[in-house]
Structures are given as structure tokens and as C-alpha cells.
Amino acid sequence: MTSLPAFIADCRSRAAQCEHAAIAVEAIAPIMHRFMREAEQLLKPEHFRADPDHYARNAVYIAPEQDLSLFALVWTPGQWTPIHDHGSWGVVGVLRGTLYERSYVRMDRETGDVGIDLKPGGVFLLDPGTITSFVPNPDHIHRTGVPADAQPVVSLHLYGRNMDSFHIYDLDSRSRRRVNVAHNES
């Protein structure tokens, strides 16, 4: 069985050796896939905390250097993120339930915070054991969550930075803004 510190060390080592985010997620995705088989036994009870008002972000690990973070997200039925991007690479694995993801495509050629033209992209249903990844530039814009009639979901999210903020998008005003996102300490 792999330990949590060994998993983190392996991910950090692989990420440090990669010059590009796409190569980092390609190197880390198989490690995450293997880790997901043991994650239930390696995570602490506080990593599975839910919140009745919104999806819960439970910190599993945040590097002191702020270059890597791992969160256990717990979703109860009807909870969704806003439309957002990450400004980082990421590798996500689903531990329990089916996580829904709606992607968005930015149609305008600008990179700023106003005049944003988003169109809905594909929909993905991510089951236990599924691994997905993303890279910035172009930003991976999406909304994730769980429909009201679905089962609760637990997913693990590994990011190439401390994911303490991200851009949220407003379709009506065609804009985005950076917001700080809270998490539960573990």
C-alpha cells in the first residue's frame, strides 16, 4: 500500500521534472489512478466532511511552497460549483458516486476579464476510479457537481498550486473575476 506522503512526494517529483503542464498531468494521472484504489484507507475521516450549504473542500495536503495541493471534495445532491477555471494544471479522480462536469469553450479571442463569450461544451459523467486532467492556457472552464436526484460524491483534486482562488464566470455580464475559495483544514 502506498502512503499519502509517498504519493505526494511522487507527484511533486514528477511535476518538478516537467517543463509543461500537459506533460505533468500525463506523468501524474497514472499515479493518481493507482492511488485512488487505496485512497479510502489512507484518507482521514475529516477528509470526508460534507457541508449542507455547498460542496465541501477538505484540504488533504498544501505544500509549504504553494506549488501543489490535494483536496477531497464532497458533494451532496444538488451541489454545484460556479462556472470557473483554475489557472493551474490539475488531475482529478472520483472516489465515490458520479461527478457531473459541464465544460465551456471561450469563443472570444481576448484573454481579459470582460467581453467573454462562453458556449457550452461537452458533458462528462465521471464514475469511481475515473481520472481526468486539465491544463491552463487555454483555461479549462467548467462547472462540476451532482444533480439533486443523484448520490453523494467524493472526488480528489490535485493541483499544481495552492488552489485557494480561481476565476468565476458570469454568463449574463460576459465577465469573470477572481475569488478566494475557502477550505476545511485537516
What value does the mean pLDDT of the chain take? 95
Closest CA relative to residue 38, chosen from 142, 134, 156, 125: 156
pLDDT above 70 as % of the chain: 99
User: Which domains, ranges and CATH numbers included, belong to the chain?
Assistant: 4-180 (2.60.120.10)
pLDDT tens string 145-175: 999 999 999 999 999 999 999 999 999 999 9
Percent of the chain with pLDDT over 90: 94
- State CA 31 to chain mean position distance: 16
pLDDT at 84: 97
- And the C-alpha cell for 135? 491544463
Contacts of 92 (CB under 8 A, 6+ apart): 32, 126, 131, 132, 133, 155, 156, 157, 158
- The Cβ of residue 36 has, within 10 Å, a number of other Cβ atoms equal to 18
What digits encode the pLDDT tens for the residues 77-108?
999 999 999 999 999 999 999 999 999 999 98
2 pLDDT tier (thresholds 50, 70, 90):
confident
pLDDT given at position 27: 97
- Residue 138 confidence (pLDDT) above 80: no
Structural contact between residues 172 and 117, judged by C-beta atoms closer than 8 angstroms: no
pLDDT tens, position by position, 45-60: 999 999 999 999 999 9
